[in-house]
Amino acid sequence: MHPILTNRVRTALYFASWIPVTALLTAVVTRGGQMPLTEAAVMLVPMCVLYAFVCQASWYLCQTLPLREGQTVRLLGTHATAAVVSSAAWVGIGFLWAFLAGPSFQFDGIVDRYLAQLPILFFSGVLLFLLAVAFNYLLITFEVGQRAEQKALEMQVLAREAELKALRAQIDPHFLFNSLNSINALIMADPAAARRMCVLLADFLRGCLKLGSAERISLGEEIQLAEHYLGIEKVRLGARLAVESEIDEECRNCGVPPLILQPLIENAITHGIAPMLEGGVIRIEARHHGALMKIVVENPFEKNGTKHGAGVGINNVKMRLANLFNGEARLDVDETGGRFRIELQLPCDES
């Protein structure tokens, strides 16, 4: 599609840009009284309107002859020929117009005066055509660049989504192997506990597989998954891990994206409790506030520890929220007073 003539604003701007051109050409042919002003206007206004269209038609030519290296001669030749032919046809039509319109406007001798201006008009015509060609190439290059940029952006968004999908289905290998090691230890010492741990681990893995592929799950399901996870980690970390949770009953039915809470809880363990010698308490809170739901995950952390603060998990959750809720959800991190606190605000749609 023609980039200018198919857009009203651009068309108007384009024709407006011909007003000074028309004025300039009028000034040129009236210089030193060679042509009276009214006569020049009667000649040049229709001629310029016509030529504005002719010059725009050069866009189709540019489109079929894209700028490529090694074709400069062919390109220049074609456009120069097109410019000469167009300009010749243009001044020819001008001549016809002078011949036909001269008598009805009672401009005596207009044909001779026009013929005297013919060379300069022809030269201007060639120049204007070539200018339009250059302008069209600029426009084409710009549009190609813009399209490529947009495409790259779309690709980036797609890649990110795929990455996040893969991530949320992923189970931390450190967690998995440590859990197996705990079971291995319990088999001799406490077979009943080993069996309980096997069931917990199976429930957690099944939950991840099932929930990871769903679009929306209830917060209740997400919390239950977190409870399985924390149950397993309690066996491993022993007295170092304590959990407190306060969940409003009406929140449990709210729909959430699957595994949105899980990375935050994992973060609280791996970057909070596990690096601490004496461990600590993880607090989980979910509150209903009108149409919103507020979820808080809070844990202590070691200030000069080997690992601290936020892992990649939190950034992924942040990005998923931005993608899924278009700015209606937020995640805030607060690290004051030796406690790491994540506050999640989501719209609550009960399902």
Partner 1 sequence: MMRVAIVDDEELARKVLREYLGAFGDVEIVAECANGFEAVKAVTDLKPELLLLDIQMPRLDGFEVLELIGREVGVVFVTAYDKYALRAFEVHAVDYLLKPFSSDRLRQALDRARDRIQARQLLPIEDLTASARPPGGRVERVLIRDGANVHVLPVGKIDYAEAQDDYVCFRSEGKRYLKQQTLSDAEAVLDPSQFVRIHRSYILNIERLAKLELYAKDSHAAILRDGTRLPVSRSGYARLTSVLR
Other C-beta atoms closer than 10 Å to the C-beta of 304 total 5
Binding window for partner 1 (CB under 8 A); candidates: 17-25, 163-171, 185-193, 254-262: 185-193
Using rule CB under 8 A, residue 188 touches partner 1: yes
Among 72, 141, 170, 184, binds partner 1 (CB under 8 A): 184
| Residue 293 lies near partner 1 (rule: CB under 8 A) | no
If one asks whether residue 304 binds partner 1 (CB under 8 A), the answer comes out as yes
> Minimal CA–CA distance to 231: which of 193, 188, 277, 264?
193
Return the number of the residue (77 or 238) whose C-beta is nearest partner 1. 238
Strand-pairing partners, residue 339, are: 300
Residue 189 binds partner 1, judged by CB under 8 A: yes
173 binds partner 1 (CB under 8 A): yes
Residue-by-residue DSSP string for 39-107: HHHHHHHHHHHHHHHHHHHHHHHHHHS---TT-HHHHHHHHHHHHHHHHHHHHHHHHHHHHHHHHHTT-
Q: Would you say 314 or 346 has its CB closer to partner 1?
A: 314
> What minimum distance in Å lies between the beta carbon of 277 and partner 1?
5
Taking the complex as a whole, the smallest distance from the CB of residue 338 to partner 1 amounts, in Å, to 15
Identify the residue among 25, 126, 225, 274 touching partner 1 (CB under 8 A): 274
The reply on whether position 183 binds partner 1 by CB under 8 A is yes
- Give CA separation, 135 vs 117, 139, 162, 344, in Å: 27, 6, 41, 52
Distance from C-alpha of 293 to C-alpha of 331, rounded to nearest angstrom: 12
| Interacting span for partner 1 (CB under 8 A) from 26-34, 131-139, 203-211, 303-311 | 303-311
Residue of 130, 255, 302, 316 that binds partner 1 (CB under 8 A): 302
277 makes contact with partner 1 (CB under 8 A): yes
Report the alpha-carbon angle 330-335-337, nearest 5. Answer: 140
CA–chain centroid gap for 204, Å, is 36
**Of residues 172 and 248, the one with the C-beta less far from partner 1:** 172
137, 62 contact by CB (below 8 A): yes
Kindly state the number of chain residues that form the binding site for partner 1, as judged by CB under 8 A.
26
Tell me: does residue 186 bind partner 1 (CB under 8 A).
yes
Which of residues 257 and 280 has its CB atom nearest to partner 1 in the complex? 280
Angle at 215 between CA 214 and CA 220, to 5 degrees: 75
C-alpha distance across the termini of the chain, in Å = 47
- For position 276 contacting partner 1 by CB under 8 A, the verdict is yes
Residues at the site binding partner 1, with contacts judged by CB under 8 A:
173-174, 176-178, 180-186, 188-189, 235-238, 274-277, 302, 304-306
